[in-house]
Chain A
Amino acid sequence: MAFENSSGETDLSVETSGKPVAENRRGFVKKLAVTALALGAGGLTVQFGRFMTPNVLYEAAKVFKVGKLGDFPIGSRIVIEGRGVEIVRGKEGIHAISLVCTHLGCLVNPVKNDPEVGYACPCHGSRFAPTGKVLGGAAPTDLPWYEMYMDHMGTLVVDASTVNHKRTKLVV
């Protein structure tokens, strides 16, 4: 007997033990080849993605020393250049706030002559309160605070890889 295969051609069926089999040999080989190709292409894409993803970064460390406590007098706001962090010391403690705008990553400018506004972004006009809370503009979230501690030598260290969600100040 004859039947049509997937490509519409009429093939003679291969008969084994008197019954026609569901799939002819060419159809099987074709499916096998397509499956192998798909697996190969998929694997290649995944491995290419792995290759393009660096395993080692030569970037500045996320944990860094900012200086001695004496460098930050009470009431001071000091920007750590190149780190995108400002160290703010008040009467009740000291904290590190990120200066990277949560909108698109520009550096915000500290605002010093306005009690309401602490930071303003030059790129798209976002404004933040001195605590980092969004006041207006395009920024979707508040400026995060980073974990901060004093090491055994008495040097202040900022850990920019860990966000201080509770916004607790380091009491010194």
Chain B
Amino acid sequence: MNKATYSLAESIKLLPVNIRNSVIRRGGGSEDQERASVVFGNLFLHLHPVRVHLNTLRLGYTLGLGLISFYLLVILIISGILLMFYYIPSIDMAYNSMLDLEFAVSFGVVLRNMHRWAAHAMVAFVFFHMCRVFYTASYKSPREFNWVVGVCLLLLTLFLSFTGYLLPWDQLAFWAITVGTNIVTYVPWIGDELRYLMLGGTEVGQMALLRFYVLHIAVLPMVMAALVGVHFWRIRKDGGLSRPLDN
């Protein structure tokens, strides 16, 4: 509305349109421009290019493995946040709260299994994605840096799996982390200090559970989110999805 003066009735009548326009902020231009602005005018869609190469749309070149990994991450974040409402990271309560989720909480068993299987699947699909990138030589210039970001994301995925493994606080968890953190002691010179820092002590106990919990629910996911953003942004900056050249 450019007109400075309009009646109260008019302004009420125009309210829905004005709200819609203020949110969507579009209009004018050719049909092509209109369609393009749908994409780049939206925070969530603007990661995607307005125009894509025909080969980008062919599923056979990428198999969608990267996006599958990303969607699994989304499932993990949502189910993980819901699990946090019932899980208590204390050595007296952790195992029982896990059992509660299995047997007492409505949909708890579904959420826990979604989280567990999505975590396993994410490790697999990140690995498959890496294989695809390798076999299509998509790590080559100008995409070397994004390959390195991807390797960091793979390591983060593995470390998230490792830290999540301790949380049920059952025998499997306890001995897996005992063995895993003992592997760390084989790091030259600082191995023992590194294990002490990881566990917050010399044995897998309350401090270790709390440290792994904080890493699992806060530190690593935040780093992950940041790196995923960089990873996606670099795909755009490095020339879009890897694809065969025009024939």
Kindly identify, within residues 54 to 87 of chain A, every residue whose CB is under 8 Å from any CB belonging to chain B. Answer: 54, 57-59
- State which of B40-48, B125-133, B134-142, B174-182 sits at the interface with chain A: B174-182
Give Cα A28 to B201, complex, Å: 45
Mark each residue of chain B from 192 to 218: 1 if its CB lies under 8 Å from any CB of chain A, else 0: 000011001111011100000000000
Kindly identify, within residues 8 to 55 of chain B, every residue whose CB is under 8 Å from any CB belonging to chain A. Answer: none
Majority SS of interface residues in chain A? loop
Instruction: Tell whether A104 pairs with B178 under 8 Å between CB atoms, given A52-B197, A53-B197.
Output: yes
How many pairs of A and B residues are in contact by the CB < 8 Å rule? 31
**Which residues of chain B are within 8 angstroms of A57 by Cβ–Cβ distance?**
201-202, 207
Are A104 and B203 in touch, CB under 8 angstroms?
no
Q: CB of B151 within 8 A of chain A?
A: no
Q: CB of B155 within 8 A of chain A?
A: no
Q: CB of A105 within 8 A of chain B?
A: yes
What count of chain B residues pass the 8 Å CB interface test? 15
Q: CB of B183 within 8 A of chain A?
A: yes
Give Cα A123 to B202, complex, Å: 20
Are B175 and A53 in touch, CB under 8 angstroms?
no
Q: State the 5 A-B residue pairs at the shortest beta-carbon distance, nearest first.
A: A105-B182, A104-B182, A104-B179, A105-B178, A57-B201
Mark each residue of chain A from 76 to 113: 1 if its CB lies under 8 Å from any CB of chain B, else 0: 00000000000000000000000000011110000000
What count of chain A residues pass the 8 Å CB interface test? 12
B residues sitting closer than 8 Å to A (CB atoms) are 175, 178-179, 181-183, 196-197, 200-203, 205-207
Mark each residue of chain A from 11 to 54: 1 if its CB lies under 8 Å from any CB of chain B, else 0: 00000000000000000000000000000000000000100111
Of chain B, the residue at the smallest CB distance from A140 is B186
26 sample A-B contacts, Cβ–Cβ < 8 Å, listed by A number: A52-B197, A52-B200, A53-B196, A53-B197, A54-B200, A54-B201, A57-B201, A57-B202, A57-B207, A58-B205, A58-B206, A59-B201, A59-B203, A59-B205, A103-B182, A104-B179, A104-B182, A104-B183, A105-B178, A105-B179, A105-B181, A105-B182, A106-B175, A106-B179, A123-B175, A123-B179
A residues sitting closer than 8 Å to B (CB atoms) are 49, 52-54, 57-59, 103-106, 123
**Which residues of chain B are within 8 angstroms of A106 by Cβ–Cβ distance?**
175, 178-179
Of chain A, the residue at the smallest CB distance from B211 is A52
Give Cα A49 to B194, complex, Å: 10
